[in-house]
Amino acid sequence: MTQARRFPRRDPLLLFRLQTDFAAGLAPAQIAEKHALSLYVVTQALRRDGNGRVPDPYVLSRRERERGDTTLVYWIGFIAACGSVFDGPNPTLVLDIDTDDLSHVHTLVEDLCDGRPGLESCQSSTRGLQVYIRDRNLGRLLVRWGIPGADRATEAVPVDFIPHGLMSHFVRGYIEGGRETPPFGAGRVPGSPKTVRRVVLAGPLDFLTALRGSLPPELRRSGSVSARPKGLAKLTFDGESAGDLLRFAYRDATRSLPRAAALQRGFTAANRV
């Protein structure tokens, strides 16, 4: 069965290609003909969404690294693990979080939002605590990054969007955003690095396979990807490999979950020895 074409606004790779073509000198009408799209869709895709704090993937790929990029990529990973963007005139970011992590969401807002976005929380009978962040510019940018909508089983951030030198920050964010997976799922507070014997990342199979392929060679070999007939696939690191992944993720950490404080202290102390 042929997979239905995604709506262009929810296709981050297509949006990236349209920007690439425009930068190469093609006019919007030429780009529309090349990709079999309407001129309106192309002009909307080429519109600069932004709030001055968060670059889109194309801009990040073309400019020199900046100090705040590590924090940005951390948040992209965190949101990719526990968030969804519901598109519309006023796109809304919905985060599924642990009750103890509400202060961390306020840090996210301070880092990524201009002004005072709408911020609400509610207790879902099926998803637990959910936080709604209503910020049009942030929502549009996160769609360009590939943050999923309602379909978390197939939609994910393209791993190629994450610069190689920033991958550890993305992985740390994704691990910390894992509400139902170890080591932070179910409100767990990890102790020292030696106490963590399993790390699991959940997501679409293709995404996890690509993510594993982007890791250092020893982590590619030790992480195992398992698919499930229904629901999300899992990328699992057991035993010593769990500590190796965390050591990679927490090197030079600039932003992390408050519940990760003991882990971060442990790796900082080990690096001093």
Half-sphere exposure at residue 59, Cβ-oriented, CA atoms within 13 angstroms: 16
**What dihedral angle (degrees, nearest 10) is formed by the CA atoms of 150, 155, 157, 161?**
-140
Q: Are residues 83 and 140 in the same domain?
A: yes
Q: Are residues 229 and 155 in the same domain?
A: yes
Q: Are residues 173 and 39 in the same domain?
A: no
Cβ count near 269 (within 10 Å): 11
Q: What residue has token string 């442990």?
A: 266
135 occurs within a structural domain: yes
- pLDDT of amino acid 271: 61
Q: Are residues 110 and 226 in the same domain?
A: yes
- pLDDT of amino acid 238: 97
pLDDT in tens, 116-154: 888 999 998 888 899 999 999 999 999 999 999 988 888
| 202 three-class SS | strand
Q: Are residues 38 and 153 in the same domain?
A: no
Q: Are residues 265 and 197 in the same domain?
A: yes
Q: Are residues 183 and 131 in the same domain?
A: yes
Sheet holding 224-226, edge to edge: 198-203, 233-238, 224-226
Residue type, 203: G
> CATH code at 177?
3.10.28.10
3 occurs within a structural domain: no
Q: Are residues 86 and 195 in the same domain?
A: yes
Dist CA 7 CA 10 (whole Å) = 5
Mean predicted lDDT score pLDDT of the chain: 91
Confidence tier at 273 by pLDDT (50, 70, 90):
very low
Tell me the mean pLDDT in the region 222-241. Answer: 94
Tell me the mean pLDDT in the region 8-12. Answer: 87
Instruction: Please tell me the total count of domains within the chain.
Output: 2
58 occurs within a structural domain: no
61 occurs within a structural domain: no
The sign of the dihedral angle between the CA atoms of 12, 96, 206, 149 is negative
pLDDT at 52 over 80: no
162 occurs within a structural domain: yes
Confidence tier at 3 by pLDDT (50, 70, 90):
very low
pLDDT in tens, 75-109: 999 999 999 999 777 889 999 999 999 999 999 99
pTM score: 0.94
| 122 three-class SS | strand
Q: Are residues 89 and 40 in the same domain?
A: no
DSSP 50-107: --SS---HHHHHHS---TTHHHHHHHHHHHHHHEEEE-SSS-EEEEE--GGGHHHHHH
27 occurs within a structural domain: yes
Dist CA 27 CA 65 (whole Å) = 29
Provide the residue range defining the domain that includes 73: 69-272
Cβ atoms of residues 161 and 55 within 8 Å: no
Partner residues linked to 30 by β-bridges:
none
Q: Are residues 192 and 121 in the same domain?
A: yes
253 occurs within a structural domain: yes
53 occurs within a structural domain: no
Q: Are residues 28 and 85 in the same domain?
A: no
Q: Are residues 137 and 246 in the same domain?
A: yes
